[in-house]
Amino acid sequence: MIKHIVAWNHQAHFTPEERDAHAERIRAGLEALPTQCGGPIPGIVSLRVHARPYPGSTRDMVLDSVFDGEKALAEYQAHPAHKLVSAFVGSVMCDRVCLDYAV
């Protein structure tokens, strides 16, 4: 299995209200991916988004997910539903960091 963690910050020019709205849209979009297209995207073991970090955190949001393997992660990243959410994330977030590792 592959643990896939991605974290971002909001772009600085958004208001707190816009940041909250973006965070909710991103959370809802990503957490819906396991059930897109009438059934689960194959290979997603778990997928959670956290958008309320403790003070002192260096990122505003994190995707914490697990996939069956490298092939499942690659298929998820290429899936049209993921690409749609990812395009929105890229339009409102910055400072992306990612860590993938075997579990």
Q: What is the pLDDT of residue 92?
A: 98
Q: Is 87 helix (H, G, I), strand (E, B) or coil?
A: helix
What's the pTM? 0.90
Task: State how far the alpha carbon of 49 is from the alpha carbons of 13, 24, in Å.
Answer: 22, 10
49 closest CA partner among 38, 72, 65, 33:
65
Q: What is the pLDDT of residue 51?
A: 92
Tokens of 12: 């600085």
Between the CA atoms of 24, 48, 71 and 90, what dihedral angle is there, to the nearest 10 degrees?
A: 30
40 closest CA partner among 72, 83, 2, 4:
72
Q: What is the pLDDT of residue 37?
A: 54
Overall fold of domain 2-102: Alpha-Beta Plaits (3.30.70)
Q: What is the pLDDT of residue 39?
A: 58
Could you read off the pLDDT tens digit of each residue along the chain, which spans 103 residues?
999 999 999 999 999 999 999 999 999 999 998 876 555 678 899 999 999 889 999 999 999 999 999 999 999 999 988 999 999 999 999 999 999 999 9
Q: Is 2 helix (H, G, I), strand (E, B) or coil?
A: strand
